[in-house]
Amino acid sequence: MTQTQGNPAGAWAEPKATAVLVLADGTVLEGFGLGATGHAVGEVCFNTAMTGYEEILTDPSYAGQIITFTFPHIGNVGTNEEDIESVNMAARPGACGLILHTDITAPSNYRATRGLDEWLKARGIVGLAGIDTRALTALIREKGMPNAVIAHAPDGKFDLAALKKEAREWPGLVGMDLVPQVTSGQRFTWDETEWVWGKGYGRQDNPEFHVVAIDYGIKRNILRLLAGAGCKVTVVPAKTSAEDIMALKPDGVFLSNGPGDPAETGKYAVPVIKTLVDSGTPTFGICLGHQMLGIAMGGKTQKMHQGHHGANHPVKDVTTGKVEITSMNHGFALDKESLPKNVEQTHFSLFDGSNCGIALKDRPVFSVQYHPEASPGPRDSHYLFTRFVDMMRQKKQKKSA
């Protein structure tokens, strides 16, 4: 609050709003701008994670979304160049906006190279602080994830009529293929392994397997865990043909995470996935890759009411009976009732019972909805990479027998 100058009564005046969130139904929420100026349109979701905001904001799966963080203190450890998750640096993959309760504080961490506000400006991400994020979260839980425009203008001047029109007319994520915005433009290899305290990231110089990863918006830490599990990884663009993938002679194929509607991306991805599965090549999918694998096997996906976004989601592994604490980021889900008989459900959410994993009964193929590489457990789900490696090893042994 700032005191009004020249007011003998000592009255207080609200500081002028420099950012707004305009929902498709015409609701306007005022706050204070952060990061880049300008505006962006997208779907508003909420994320319950208490840490990892830099990784969340650079996850390509968040393309087309505005993230409301439920944890009030975001930005207090600053940012650095090691925690970025997107591999396509030519684009601006990741969230198009963020909403916070509390203004960003100065960074306090030895790894920080700059503050979050400066980092947001550099990446062109529009931010807003100072609103009741609990109320916004409650609204999303009640009515679903709304389409909206987030805008930041230091002078506080907004054309609300135009912003309302843009939010109202934005078509939403259903039927939207966002993968072309985030996939890599060309093929490349990856050998960087996990970060180790005091050493940083390592290198895989003696791989046992060759994995081709289809990049629908892949995250760096997925690639690191694949490399750390003994794999040379070749990353290919999303529209690479099955023939070109098989020509690389992979021991296994990885189907990555990514944004948008899986049914829309599946129009060109599903035929490729079907061919790869039919070849008998061990295949592992995560997030969008999981959903499109399900479609390729005859299943269907559906839009979720509020989605799953956070680092505290309990998931049960039916095959072991164990419960994992997982990281999730998805607004679409595979309909478990649509799965054919040769596909079994291996994991499900303990929050709402939705499908979180599948496996083929007759082929070395499996996938999960959540993000094992994000390590919220912290290592509850790393066994999935070992499972993938074991499948490739068994395939190799059968060939040499």
CA gap 44, 41 in Å, rounded = 9
- Alpha-carbon distance of 175 to 171, in angstroms, equals 9
pLDDT at 6 over 80: no
Task: Give 9's pLDDT tier (boundaries 50, 70, 90).
Answer: very low
pLDDT at residue 399, rounded to an integer: 85
Q: What is the CATH number of the domain that holds 19?
A: 3.50.30.20
Q: Which residues in 324-356 are b (16+ Cβ under 10 Å) and which e?
A: bbbbbbbbbbbebebbeeebeebbbbeeeebbb
Mean pLDDT along residues 248-254: 98
pLDDT in tens, 351-390: 999 999 999 999 999 999 999 999 888 889 999 999 999 9
Residue pair 211/226 in contact by the 8 Å Cβ criterion: yes
Please report the pLDDT score of residue 5 as a whole number: 39
Strand partners, 329: 309
| Domain shared by 149 and 272, yes or no | no
188 in any annotated domain:
yes
Q: Are residues 164 and 194 in the same domain?
A: no
pLDDT in tens, 108-124: 999 999 999 999 999 99
Same-domain pairing of 238 and 373: yes
Last residue of a domain, one of 150, 169, 188: 169
Averaged over 148-156, what is the pLDDT? 98
Is residue 348 in a domain?
A: yes
Largest CA distance in the chain: 93
Task: Tell me whether residue 361 is in a domain.
Answer: yes
- The dihedral over CA atoms of 7, 8, 11, 17, expressed in degrees to the nearest 10, equals 10
| Residue 8: inside a domain | no
Distance CA 274, CA 111 (A): 44
The answer to whether position 9 is within a domain reads no
Using the 3D structure, point to which of 169, 189, 213 is the last residue of a domain: 169
Could you read off the pLDDT of 295-348 as tens digits, one per residue? Answer: 999 999 999 999 999 999 999 999 999 999 999 999 999 999 999 999 999 999
Please tell me whether residues 192 and 336 are part of one structural domain: yes
Do residues 328 and 369 make contact, with C-beta atoms less than 8 angstroms apart?
A: yes
- Residue in the block written with tokens 């029109």: 165
Predicted confidence (pLDDT) at residue 1 exceeds the cutoff of 80: no
Claim to verify: residue 111 and residue 202 sit in the same structural domain: no
- CA-to-CA distance for 32 and 227, rounded, in angstroms? 42
Q: Which residue is associated with the tokens 């959540």?
A: 370
Say if residue 368 is in the same domain as residue 394.
yes
Q: How confident is the model at residue 400 (pLDDT cuts 50, 70, 90)?
A: confident
- Domain count along the chain: 2
238 plus 355 within the same structural domain: yes
pLDDT of the residue at 15: 80
Q: Could you read off the pLDDT of 168-203 as tens digits, one per residue? A: 999 999 999 999 999 999 999 999 999 998 899 999
Query: What is the per-residue pLDDT for 2?
Result: 35
Domain CATH for 272: 3.40.50.880
Q: Are residues 212 and 115 in the same domain?
A: no
Residue-range definition of the domain harbouring residue 52 = 14-169
Say if residues 288 and 333 touch (Cβ distance below 8 Å).
Answer: no
Q: Are residues 86 and 189 in the same domain?
A: no
Helix (H) or strand (E) holding 39: strand 38-47
| pLDDT of 3 higher than 70 | no
Burial class (CB in 10 A: 0-12, 13-18, 19+), 81: exposed
- Contact indicator for 105, 75 with CB cutoff of 8 Å: yes
Domain boundary among 169, 191, 209: 169
Q: How confident is the model at residue 401 (pLDDT cuts 50, 70, 90)?
A: confident
Which single residue is written with the structure tokens 């504080």? Answer: 105
What number is the average pLDDT over the span 238-266? 98
State whether 149 and 236 are in the same domain.
no
Which residues make beta-bridge pairs with 42?
Answer: 148
State whether 72 and 218 are in the same domain. Answer: no
Instruction: Specify if 1 maps to a domain.
Output: no
What does the pLDDT read at residue 13? 54
Residues 85 and 27 in one domain: yes
Residue 50 lies in a domain: yes
Task: Please tell me whether residue 63 adopts helix, strand or coil conformation.
Answer: coil
Q: Using one digit for the tens of pLDDT, what is the confidence trace for 50-106? A: 999 999 999 999 999 999 999 999 999 999 999 999 998 766 679 999 999 999 999
CB crowding 132-161: b at 16 or more within 10 Å, else e: ebeebbebbeeebbbbbbbbbbeeeebeee
Catalytic residues: 287, 371, 373
Kindly state whether residue 6 falls inside one of the protein's structural domains.
Answer: no
The per-residue DSSP string of 108-123 comes to --TT-SB-HHHHHHHH
**Integer angstrom CA distances of residue 193 from 128, 202, 231, 374:** 35, 5, 10, 14
